[in-house]
């Protein structure tokens, strides 16, 4: 039985901290699910850490559906959230409904995430009314990176902080089951967390959020192009992978791989018979 949005909301009420990770493929999703992660986000961050784009903006619905299907196949307990990519929900509510439905019906996700605050409240309301759980996302919204002028902390001035608080309240009223707060000052995150009824999930938003989300590639030390300030590397797999590949090259060139252990044998009589014809 998968974790439900009701259980996620109850975790806030009980004061239980919520752990969330991204995953983009079957093998990784299976491992984090076995570890007990209650929520897995198939983030459009895959555009950068998996597909090599320089932002999340080029990511398409078909790419998101492809990766979400793999993550769903790799999980049995975690709530899987599909990240709606750029311009798949902003043009009109009909687009939002159609694309959100693809995540649920075609990819097998249990919820979707979209960026934006008050301006997206009506869209959120309509998607939720259609029976599709929605996670909100405010603060640093990567799909708006060109408008924001880069990756930076959002909400440092009184005016910006009030806008974020109003955004959070609007999303709460529209029916989201949780809100991601990205790159938001810790003090402001604390206030938002206290003022909304749904869980806040922080990424670079401090310890007062109801939960935390991290990009799995940052956590594992796999993505080395850029390591955000808010990321903690719990492993350095890039170094292990690079060394393993180097060792492999060395052994192939030296003729020490493969050994008998990695090779298959055939019956000597069959081999002798074959050699008569060569």
The dihedral through the CA atoms of 225, 153, 110, 104 has a sign that is negative
How confident is residue 68, by pLDDT bands cut at 50, 70 and 90? very high
Element (H, E) at 203: strand 200-203
pLDDT of residue 148 exceeding 90, the answer is no
Given this model, what pLDDT does residue 150 score?
66
Structure tokens belonging to residue 21: 């990770």
State the DSSP code for 38.
S
List the domains of the chain with CATH numbers.
5-235 (3.20.20.60), 240-275 (no CATH)
Share of the chain above pLDDT 90, in %: 90
Buried b (16+ CB within 10 A) or exposed e, 122-133: ebbbbbbeeebb
**Residue 226: exposed, middle, or buried by beta-carbon count in 10 A (0-12, 13-18, 19+)?**
exposed
pLDDT digits (tens, 9 = 90+) for 189-211: 999 999 999 999 999 999 999 99
How confident is residue 146, by pLDDT bands cut at 50, 70 and 90? confident
Mean pLDDT of the chain: 96
Alpha carbon distance 262, 101 (integer Å): 47
**Rounded mean pLDDT of 98-116?**
98
pLDDT digits (tens, 9 = 90+) for 117-136: 999 999 999 999 999 999 99
How confident is residue 149, by pLDDT bands cut at 50, 70 and 90? low
Catalytic residues: 182
Element (H, E) at 82: strand 79-83
pLDDT digits (tens, 9 = 90+) for 3-43: 999 999 999 999 999 999 999 999 999 999 999 999 999 99
Alpha carbon distance 2, 145 (integer Å): 34
Give the bridge partners for 210, in sequence order: none
Structure tokens belonging to residue 34: 């076995």
**Cis amide linkage into residue 194, ω under 30° from 0:** no
For 97, the 3-state DSSP assignment is helix
**Rounded mean pLDDT of 59-87?**
98
Given this model, what pLDDT does residue 107 score?
98
State the DSSP code for 178.
E
Given this model, what pLDDT does residue 277 score?
84
Residue 50's CB is within 10 A of a number of other CB atoms, namely: 18
Share of the chain above pLDDT 70, in %: 99
Structure tokens belonging to residue 107: 């990819």
Given this model, what pLDDT does residue 147 score?
76
Alpha carbon distance 223, 48 (integer Å): 9
Alpha carbon distance 199, 210 (integer Å): 5
Given this model, what pLDDT does residue 12 score?
98
User: Which region among 21-35, 73-87, 164-178, 218-232 has the lowest average model confidence (pLDDT)?
Assistant: 218-232
Given this model, what pLDDT does residue 224 score?
85
Alpha carbon distance 253, 273 (integer Å): 32
Alpha carbon distance 100, 268 (integer Å): 61
pLDDT of residue 56 exceeding 80, the answer is yes
Given this model, what pLDDT does residue 126 score?
98
Decide if 200 contacts 193 (C-beta within 8 A). yes
Please write down the HEC assignment for all residues of 44-100. Answer: CCHHHHCCCCCCCCCCCHHHHHHHHHHHHHHCCCCEEEEECCCCCCCCCHHHHHHHH
């Amino acid at each position: 039985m998968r974790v439900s949005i009701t259980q996620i909301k109850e975790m806030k009420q009980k004061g239980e901290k919520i752990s969330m990770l991204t995953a983009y493929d079957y093998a990784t999703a299976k491992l984090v699910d076995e570890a007990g992660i209650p929520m897995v986000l198939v983030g459009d961050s895959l555009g950068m850490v998996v597909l090599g784009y320089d932002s999340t903006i080029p990511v398409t619905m078909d790419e998101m559906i492809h990766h979400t299907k793999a993550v769903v196949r790799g999980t049995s307990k975690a709530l899987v959230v599909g990240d709606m990519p750029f311009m798949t929900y902003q043009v009109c509510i009909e687009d939002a409904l159609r694309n959100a439905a693809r995540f649920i019906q075609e990819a097998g996700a249990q919820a979707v995430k979209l960026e934006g605050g008050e301006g997206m409240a009506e869209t959120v309301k309509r998607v939720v009314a259609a029976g599709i759980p929605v996670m909100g996302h405010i603060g640093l919204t990567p799909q708006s990176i060109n408008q924001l002028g880069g990756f930076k902390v959002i909400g440092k001035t009184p005016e910006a902080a009030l806008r974020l608080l109003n955004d959070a309240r609007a999303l709460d009223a529209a029916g989201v089951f949780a809100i991601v707060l990205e790159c938001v000052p810790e003090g402001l995150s604390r206030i938002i967390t206290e003022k909304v009824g749904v869980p806040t999930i922080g990424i670079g938003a401090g310890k007062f959020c109801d939960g935390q989300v991290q990009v799995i590639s940052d956590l594992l030390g796999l993505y080395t192009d850029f390591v955000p300030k808010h990321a903690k590397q719990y492993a350095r797999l890039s170094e292990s992978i690079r060394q393993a590949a180097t060792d492999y090259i060395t052994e192939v060139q030296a003729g020490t791989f493969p050994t008998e252990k990695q090779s298959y044998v055939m019956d000597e009589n069959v081999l002798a018979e074959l050699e008569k014809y060569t």
